[in-house]
Structure 1
Amino acid sequence: MATTLTLDKDTLVAKARQSMQRMLPDNAWTPRQKLALTCRILFDAGHDSGLAGQITCRADKPGTYYTQRLGLGFDEISESNLLLVDEDLNVLEGDGMANPANRFHSWVYRARPDVNCIIHTHPLHIVALSMLEVPLMVSHMDICPLFDDCAFLKQWPGVPVGNEEGEIISAALGDKRAILLAHHGQLVACASIEEACVLASLFERAAKLQLLAMAAGEIKPIPEALAREAHDWISTPKRSQTTFAYYARRALKQHADCLAPAA
């Protein structure tokens, strides 16, 4: 016989979260493996733009992080060809060079000690939206992790290879997890690789939905309180881990080579 039909919503939410923590497993991949998987996941999700875009995550030693090698597309990144670099982009481990645009990641990491992974890409629908100089509009339940969590930089500061661009982008991001960069692309800065991967994937879907809705009519707002409720319901570490695991299983069917270890 049912025992939960008279429980209030807060109680049911708490019970569901407890069950998720107990029943859903943590991911066992290493940070390098998660980065490689993220690159393949995002490539399949439309984040490919030639050699544009970067992904980084903090390494064990302060002031160092893992990133991809310049010259390789996201579909070519594997555990074995990632680089370990310092804040000056000097390569400490691996062969090749980092993308010079990685410089602004150091500024974000310094401003945000809560951030452990940064993804910057130029996916098709985000770039199209950025050309309109309008901020992201969250008006659907699935996109609510970005509600009041996506900044907007309307002025394009140019290619992000100087320290000035790092200062501008990190300041515009503020305390949010995502930012739409006008005439440029997107950036997410999150506590984990899983969270960053999932949010970056969602960001591109959100831009696509916004463009479709704008073409059809006027986008209607959703109630702020409900949007915040949905934001907090979806934006948990366990949900990010579980969603990432699904994306990874899907990617590994096509990209098993991304987990090839260094020789």
Structure 2
Amino acid sequence: MNSTLSMDKQSIMAKSRADIAQNLPEGLWSDKQKVALTCRILFAQGHDSGLAGQITARCENPAQYYTQPFGFGFDEISTDNLLTVDEDLQVIEGEGMANPANRFHSWIYRARPDVRCVIHTHPPHISALSMLGVPLKISHMDSCMLYDDVAFLANWPGVPVGNEEGEIITAVLADKRAALLCHHGLVVAGKSIEEACMLAIQCERAARLQLLAEAVAPIKDIDPALAKEAHDWILQDKRSKAGFAYYARRTARMLNLHI
């Protein structure tokens, strides 16, 4: 067997991808459990803002999705109180009502069949950038999972409960995985629940790093080719699932949950 010390980088990366796909751990949770865990994880990561924000995931019926009931915080969500709603926000299963702002999720799901989970939150550092009208700048290796994948909505359309807001947010998101909404917050559109959760965590961390760095000096640009390489490397499906499982365990310890 040849030593890996003599292999070129691309060959090592290809071998490592195969090893990651086969060996990284992931949790064996249902989609409803993943949605509830995402609510708790993002609460622990500072994404809560009272009753603001929604986390949704497609059901087996692609015209329906899971969401939390309006009136509950992220830290209160469990599989027992999640709702199943249709794209008109009519409750199919569960008690209570969906947040009326979920309407723009319906528009995203209709336009993006690749999206399995939509996260909308108002975390502090993303919200601070949104108040400044400043796009998210990616210039750190960890943040490269977001490179060229975060859109920017410069004009706030108001409270997102109408179809117009759904059309506007969906259009600016286009084929990207996230968008920073001026005077508002964050929206993430993930190919899986795990990916969406990891993206949301990293968006807020990237915003925090940006504000810290810009307080000292202008941020230096990152090499586009290397950033794209890091983007694709970090966003491996199994890596997202392993990262999600880690944050689920970490949050369970913090909030004394049994998962």
Q: Does the Cα contact within 8 Å between 1:144 and 1:227 map onto a contact in 2?
A: yes
Normalising by structure 1, we get a TM-score of 0.96
- Structure 2: any 5+ residue segments left out of the alignment? none
Percent identical across equivalent pairs? 65
Separation of aligned partners in 2, 1:62 and 1:11: 38
Q: Does the Cα contact within 8 Å between 2:26 and 2:245 map onto a contact in 1?
A: no
1:98 alignment partner in structure 2: 98
1:122 alignment partner in structure 2: 122
Q: Does the Cα contact within 8 Å between 1:58 and 1:66 map onto a contact in 2?
A: yes
After superposition, where does 1:82-161 map in structure 2 within 5 Å? 82-161=82-161
Residue 21 of structure 1: CA displacement? Answer: 1.3
After superposition, where does 1:36-75 map in structure 2 within 5 Å? 36-75=36-75
Secondary structure of the residue aligned to 1:253 is helix
Q: Does the Cα contact within 8 Å between 2:153 and 2:180 map onto a contact in 1?
A: yes
- Structure 1: any 5+ residue segments left out of the alignment? none
Separation of aligned partners in 2, 1:256 and 1:35: 18
Separation of aligned partners in 1, 2:51 and 2:74: 8
Secondary structure of the residue aligned to 2:46 is helix
Per-residue CA shift, 1:143-185, capped at 9, x if unaligned?
Answer: 0011000000000000100000000000000100000000000
Residue 2 of structure 1: CA displacement? Answer: 7.8
Normalising by structure 2, we get a TM-score of 0.97
After superposition, where does 1:214-253 map in structure 2 within 5 Å? 214-253=214-253
Per-residue CA shift, 1:129-148, capped at 9, x if unaligned?
Answer: 11111111000001001100
Paired residues, number:
259
Separation of aligned partners in 2, 1:82 and 1:207: 30
Residue 236 of structure 1: CA displacement? Answer: 1.0
Separation of aligned partners in 1, 2:191 and 2:258: 23
Separation of aligned partners in 2, 1:104 and 1:253: 34
2:23 alignment partner in structure 1: 23
Separation of aligned partners in 2, 1:84 and 1:134: 35
What residue identity is the alignment partner of 2:8? D
Per-residue CA shift, 1:42-74, capped at 9, x if unaligned?
Answer: 001010101000000000113100000101000
Which 4+ stretches in 1 moved above 4 angstroms? 256-259
Separation of aligned partners in 1, 2:187 and 2:98: 18
